[in-house]
A and B are shown apart, each in its own frame.
Chain A
């Protein structure tokens, strides 16, 4: 049990949890600002970004793909804003136009170019490949204190950890302005806070988390974690600090429980093959939200 768990299950579980936390954290602000679907939009437009990056560089490597994804997210944000403002289109519809068109463009590019030699396809983009992020150099729990084995952990783990720490640090550092600008934009502006800039900062933070998490775990987890844990947390409390804490708890619970259920659940039920961990994590987060909407102490309209 020890070896198998540490080598095959621990790294993806930790990466999944980090991705869930990195997305749920800005998700709290997006929820209150009624921008929850930004996560949905970003995770769709990431596809053309990485395809273009691949076509330009010809290799599958992380840095150009992350840059491509970030560039695509930027293009999408600008396009949505331009269509909304110049075309006087309502924001939801403007978003729908841009992300579907960019996703379609990405799929078409992917089908037209020769990517058969490399691991790049739509399915991978949608539900990632959490199960493949294994740590073959581990020999058991002792490897956790063995520096040479630790250095061979999947690189996604370090990247995801770095982004999670960065997101958490920014949220902690700018907590007060973020909260003020989210709850009462007028009041925040009267205090001299740059509310437009703060809104942009929150969206950027979300995009950063989404792009990093997308690379590691695929878009389903990204969309689910932006919304479900914060929404469930909103049913539990009226205070934002407590809401963030609840949401992080729910995100961790969903990632761990989802991964365990996907990896071991079918075995317990007598089947031989594991099911999609990304899909199961999203499903568990939805189940948590369902329970919270039925039982949460603060579920009703105030």
Chain B
């Protein structure tokens, strides 16, 4: 069943929804990548919650005009309008009053959502039966989706994706370096507005599938996950799109296999799984890599300090250092250095003596800042410099 779902064999509608959801996921991931690089991730939370009043109002208007209240393009238009107003208000509040952006986001989010709920309760008391389904926009549902709706979502996802591709260069430049973009004749404010329009488009297209409470996750989680893998803006955005696409496709396909698997939460949890894997195993930024790095540094420090103590003929008191020296085959069980240990000890001792000589020297003393207690002097000086330094060592004999 799951395999069939993932290979699009559960019927034409389910396949259409899965493909549309994949396109939406890619677009959301990429847009979210730009949003994250611009540090505006949570604005999308305000936008998505602000769609609800427009959604309900559009339904009421369409019913009042004698049409079908659930006509998806009409609902999308209404939600886009009210989300646009919410977005505009967040901008105005942040610019014109002394409220910080997070407060403006929270205020718009809660007020619009509250108003939407009020309108929703009015819708529920209109002609019973016909409104069934508006609640589906809260958490998303693809069960029993109309063919026309599935087509609209697939086309919408593709359209947003095309818009992202078309705008990728200026968006990338602004995300990478505002000043540089300005010099290249790109209006930063205009590109930010375009980015917000894309966020709005993703939200409106995703309402039916992922739902307005969770669509924000599709804009945030893939981007945060992608950021772990790369330091380059373009790669982050591309990878974020890939993650979003995987989550969108997998979520829509899986939820088609059982009625109790709502699409939105599955999409979000798949995205979160990708994030968790990235957090753990990404090279350089991931937790495992960080732990390994820490471990390597730790062992270098302990070995060096242990060897220094041995070179002075002192016993090693630190239990961990003793263990590490033993494991590296540098000491015997009784704590005395082995053959290899004695060679290492001599090397470290020479290194230490050379650093001291460097500090006393007239020409090389500037380099003493490179002595962090771990760096070997051979990696700092040339062979000639070392030889010159060694001549100053000789007369002092054993220290």
- Interface residues of chain A, those whose CB is within 8 Å of chain B, are 31, 34-37, 39-40, 83, 86-90, 92-97, 100-101, 103-105, 107-108, 111-112, 122-123, 126-127, 220-221, 223-224, 226-228, 231, 234-235, 262, 266, 271-276, 278-283, 285-287, 289, 293, 298-302
8 shortest interchain CB distances as A-B pairs: A282-B114, A286-B111, A279-B117, A100-B217, A104-B268, A224-B110, A104-B265, A96-B220
Residues of chain A within 8 A (CB-CB) of B112 are: 286
**Chain B 87-127 per-residue mask, 1 if CB under 8 angstroms from chain A, else 0:** 00000010011111011011111111111111011100100
Residues of chain B within 8 A (CB-CB) of A87 are: 224, 228, 279, 285, 287
> Which listed residue (B214, B223, B260) contacts A100, Cβ 8 A?
B214
Query: Given A224-B110, A299-B98, A111 and B260 touching (CB < 8 A)?
Result: yes
Instruction: State the majority secondary structure of interface residues on A.
Output: helix
Q: Does B264 reach chain A (CB closer than 8 Å)? A: yes
Q: Is B117 a contact partner of A40 (Cβ separation < 8 A)? A: no
> Which listed residue (B98, B220, B268) contacts A300, Cβ 8 A?
B98
The answer for the CA separation of A231 and B40 in the assembled complex, in Å, is: 21
Q: Does B252 reach chain A (CB closer than 8 Å)? A: no
Known: A93-B220, A126-B117, A234-B98. 8 other contacts (CB 8 A): A101-B275, A103-B214, A104-B214, A104-B217, A104-B268, A228-B111, A231-B107, A273-B121
Q: Is B103 a contact partner of A31 (Cβ separation < 8 A)? A: yes
Q: Is A227 a contact partner of B223 (Cβ separation < 8 A)? A: no
The answer for the CA separation of A112 and B258 in the assembled complex, in Å, is: 10
Q: Does B216 reach chain A (CB closer than 8 Å)? A: yes
Q: Is A104 a contact partner of B41 (Cβ separation < 8 A)? A: no
Q: Does B139 reach chain A (CB closer than 8 Å)? A: yes
CB proximity to A under 8 Å, residues B253-277: 260-262, 264-266, 268-269, 271-272, 275
Residues of chain B within 8 A (CB-CB) of A88 are: 285
Q: Is B105 a contact partner of A37 (Cβ separation < 8 A)? A: yes
Instruction: State the majority secondary structure of interface residues on B.
Output: helix
Q: Is A97 a contact partner of B220 (Cβ separation < 8 A)? A: yes
Q: Is A100 a contact partner of B216 (Cβ separation < 8 A)? A: yes
Residues of chain B within 8 A (CB-CB) of A94 are: 224
Q: Does B322 reach chain A (CB closer than 8 Å)? A: no
> Which listed residue (B97, B109, B139) contacts A40, Cβ 8 A?
B109
The answer for the CA separation of A100 and B100 in the assembled complex, in Å, is: 23
Q: Is A111 a contact partner of B114 (Cβ separation < 8 A)? A: no
Q: Is A226 a contact partner of B106 (Cβ separation < 8 A)? A: yes
**Chain B 275-309 per-residue mask, 1 if CB under 8 angstroms from chain A, else 0:** 10001000001010010000000000000000000
Q: Is B99 a contact partner of A234 (Cβ separation < 8 A)? A: yes
Q: Is B113 a contact partner of A220 (Cβ separation < 8 A)? A: yes
Q: Is A97 a contact partner of B138 (Cβ separation < 8 A)? A: no
Expressed in whole angstroms, the minimum distance between the Cβ of B294 and any Cβ of chain A is 11
